[in-house]
Amino acid sequence: MQASAFLCHRANCIQTCSVSDQPLEGANARLEELKESLYQKEREITELLEAERIPVPPVLQPHCSVLLPTVITKAHEICSVVPESRALLYQMIDDNQVALAEARDKLRLHLQTAKQDSNEKEKTPRQEGSDESSLSFLQETVREHEVCQIALGYIKSGECPVMNDCEMSELEDILGQETLPTAQRTVKGIGQQLLLLQDQLKREKEEKKKVVENYTSERAMRKKYYNMVEEMKGKIRVFCRIRPVNRSEAAQGGAVVVAKLDDYSVTVETQRGPREFQFDKVFSTEASQEDLFQDVNRLMQSVIDGYNVCIFAYGQTGSGKTFTMVGDKDQKNPGIMPRSFNAIFDIMRENGSKFDFKVSAYMLELYNDRLQDLLVSQAGEAHAQTQPHGPTRRVEIKRNRKGVVFAQGAETKEASSAQELYALFQQACANRHISATKMNVESSRSHLIVGIMVESRNLTNGSVNTGKLSLVDLAGSERAAKTGAKDHQLKEANSINKSLSALGDVISALSAELPHVPYRNSKLTQVMQDSLGGNAKTLMIVNISPSEYNLDETLTSLVYATRVKAITNNAQRNVDSKEIAQLKEVIMKLKSGHAVEEVDV
C-alpha cells in the first residue's frame, strides 16, 4: 500500500469512530487503541517501503562474462606489445579503484541518510522519487566500477581464452550497439579504448614495417650500386652459394650455422658470435640452377663480344662445386657448363645475320699436378706414351702476347651446335678422375678446365672478336682425417691441397697488391693466370655447406672468397681489324706449312 492511501484510510476511520453511539469514556479508550494499532501498521508499512529501497548487492551480470573474455585477450595482447598501452592500463586500474571506492562511499552515505530521514520525517512523493533515482544511479555507478575493475584485472593477467578475428568483429558489433545496459556500457568504454589502442598498434607496426622495408631495400640498393662500381673497376665478381644440408650432416645432428641475410650478405654463427660476409650475390639453399644461371648469363654476351671470361667454383670437398658447374649426375639439374653451351649458341643464332661464328673447345683436367687432355681417350693416350719416340701429346700452359692463357698441345675441337659441344663435354666428363670419399660419394679428384673459344667475324666490316670462356670446376680442399683418404687417394688429396694452396697464395698476393705474384708455383695457378689479375672478366662461385660440422672449412672458404673480391682484373676485348685478322690467318697458315695466296691487306 502506498503511504498517501494509508493516511487517507486512517482519517476516514477516525471520522467514523467520532459518530459512534457508544458511551464517551469507553469510546475514548477504544479510540486510543485504534490509534495505536494504526500507528503500528503505519510503521510496518514504512519498514516495508524502506526494505524495497535497500540495494541488492552488486553482482557481475552474465552478459559481461560473454563479452569480457574477447575484450580481455585482445587487450592483454595489445598491452604486452605497446608500452604506452600498458602504462595506460595501470593508470586505468588505479583511477578505477579510486572511483570505485568513492562510489561505494557515496552509496553507503546515501543509504544511511535515507534511513535516518525516513525515521525522522515524512517525505513528499516527489522527494521520495528523486531519492529512489539517485539511489539507483549510485548503485549503477558502483556496479560499473566493479565490472570495470574485474575486466582490467583480467586484462593485466591475460587469463582469458584466445580471441579470433571473427570474435573481434563480433565485439565491434556489440560495442557499436547503443542500447546496452550499464555493465555493458562499462565494457563498451574499455573496449572502445582498446580498439583505439589496437589501431594505434596496427599503425605503429605498419610504420615499423615500412621503416624496415625502406632500410632493407636501401641497403640492398647501396650494395648493388657498390658492386656495379666495383665491376666497372674490373674487380673479380664473387657469388656465394649455400648448399642444402646433406644426409650425413643431418645424421651428425649438426646445427645449421649459415644463413643468407639478403641478396648480398651471408652470416655464419661462430663460437665468437655471428660473422657477416658480403658478396656480389648470395644464393640460399633454395636457389635453383636456373636462378644462379640468370645472374651468370650476361657473361655469355661478353664472350661473344670478344672478352675472356672465367667462371670457377671454389670450396671444400662436397660443398657443391660440381653440382654448380656441371649439374647432377643424370642432368635433371644441369649446371653452368651445359647451360653456357646453350646460351652461347642461342646468342649466335640471334646474331647470325650480322656475324659469322666459329666455336671450338678444349677440355683438360689437372690430376696429380699433370695436365691431361680429356678430349683424347685414356686408352689412346696410354698407347701414345708407349711409342718409341716417347709421349706425343704433352699439354702445356702458355700465354699469348695479350696474356691470354692457352693450352698448347691440347686437342681443340670445333662444335657447330650446343649439342655437339655437349657431346664433347660428356666425353671429357667420362674421362675425368672421380672417386668416392667419406665426404662425397662422387668426389672430383682433379680440377676440370673447359675452354670454349668463340670467334665472331663481323660481316659488315670484317673485324674479328675472339672471346674465350674458361669454366673451371676445382677439386675440393679437404682434410685427410675427415675424408678418410689413404694410399693413392691420399696422394691425390695432397696434390689437390698443394695446388689449392698455391691458388690461395696467388689470391693473397693479388689482394694485397704485392709486386710478385707466385703464378708459377703450380699448374693450376698457371692455368688461371689470366683469370686472376689478368685480362679476363672473372666470376668466382664460393660453395659452402650450411652445417656446423663444416664450420671451419666454410669460414676458410669465405675468407678466401672475400680476398678474391679485392682483386682487380683488366679485361679488354680481343678485337682485330679486318686487316690484322687476315694477316694472322696468313701467319697461321705459313706456320703450319700451308701455301698462302697473295693477299691484299
Ligand X SMILES: Nc1ncnc2c1ncn2[C@@H]1O[C@H](COP(=O)(O)OP(=O)(O)OP(=O)(O)O)[C@@H](O)[C@H]1O
Flag whether 284 is marked binding: no
- SS3 per-residue string spanning 492-512: HHHHHHHHHHHHHHHHHHHHC
Rounded least distance, CB 445 to ligand X, Å:
8
Rounded least distance, CB 444 to ligand X, Å:
4
- C-alpha–C-alpha distance, residues 131 and 125, integer Å: 10
Rounded least distance, CB 243 to ligand X, Å:
4
Flag whether 316 is marked binding: yes
Pairing mode, strands 355-367 and 370-373:
antiparallel
- C-alpha–C-alpha distance, residues 441 and 434, integer Å: 9
Residue 191 or 315 with smaller CB distance to ligand X:
315
Rounded least distance, CB 319 to ligand X, Å:
4
Residue 79 or 471 with smaller CB distance to ligand X:
471
Rounded least distance, CB 429 to ligand X, Å:
12
Residue 444 or 495 with smaller CB distance to ligand X:
444
Report residue 339 CA to chain centroid gap.
29
- SS3 per-residue string spanning 308-367: EEEEEEECECCCCHHHHHCECCCCCCECHHHHHHHHHHHHHHHCCCCEEEEEEEEEEEEE
- Residue number of the CB closest to ligand X reads 476
Flag whether 139 is marked binding: no
Residue 29 or 441 with smaller CB distance to ligand X:
441
Rounded least distance, CB 289 to ligand X, Å:
8
Residue 244 or 403 with smaller CB distance to ligand X:
244
Flag whether 176 is marked binding: no
Three-state DSSP class for residue 586? helix
Rounded least distance, CB 496 to ligand X, Å:
8
Flag whether 321 is marked binding: yes
Q: How many CB atoms lie within 10 A of CB 299?
A: 21
DSSP character at residue 244:
P
Three-state DSSP class for residue 567? coil
Report residue 489 CA to chain centroid gap.
41
Q: How many CB atoms lie within 10 A of CB 526?
A: 20
Flag whether 409 is marked binding: no
Query: Are 312 and 564 spatial neighbours (Cβ–Cβ below 8 Å)?
Result: no
- C-alpha–C-alpha distance, residues 552 and 580, integer Å: 52
- C-alpha–C-alpha distance, residues 430 and 432, integer Å: 6
Rounded least distance, CB 343 to ligand X, Å:
20
Rounded least distance, CB 475 to ligand X, Å:
5
- C-alpha–C-alpha distance, residues 319 and 313, integer Å: 10
β-strand partners of 309: 469, 537
Residue 279 or 355 with smaller CB distance to ligand X:
279
Of 156, 138, 144, which is closest to residue 93 (Cα–Cα)? 156
The set of residues, in sequence order, having a beta carbon less than 8 Å from that of 307 and lying 6+ positions away, is: 467, 536, 537, 571, 572, 573, 574
Flag whether 315 is marked binding: yes
Residues that bind ligand X (CB under 6 A): 243-244, 246, 315, 317-323, 328, 440, 442-444, 475-476, 543
- Residue 480 carries which side chain, given as an amino acid letter? A
Residue 338 or 534 with smaller CB distance to ligand X:
338
**What's the CA dihedral at 400, 406, 411, 417 to 10 degrees?**
-100
- Residue 192 carries which side chain, given as an amino acid letter? Q
Three-state DSSP class for residue 466? strand
Three-state DSSP class for residue 541? strand
DSSP character at residue 374:
T
Rounded least distance, CB 522 to ligand X, Å:
17
Of 284, 348, 342, 340, which is closest to residue 312 (Cα–Cα)? 340
Query: Are 432 and 325 spatial neighbours (Cβ–Cβ below 8 Å)?
Result: no
Flag whether 318 is marked binding: yes
Residue 184 or 316 with smaller CB distance to ligand X:
316
Residue 198 or 547 with smaller CB distance to ligand X:
547
Of 154, 187, 181, which is closest to residue 76 (Cα–Cα)? 154
- Residue 139 carries which side chain, given as an amino acid letter? Q
- C-alpha–C-alpha distance, residues 597 and 590, integer Å: 11
Rounded least distance, CB 408 to ligand X, Å:
27
Residue 315 or 534 with smaller CB distance to ligand X:
315
Residue 47 or 291 with smaller CB distance to ligand X:
291
Annotated binding site for ATP: 315-322
Annotated binding site: 315-322
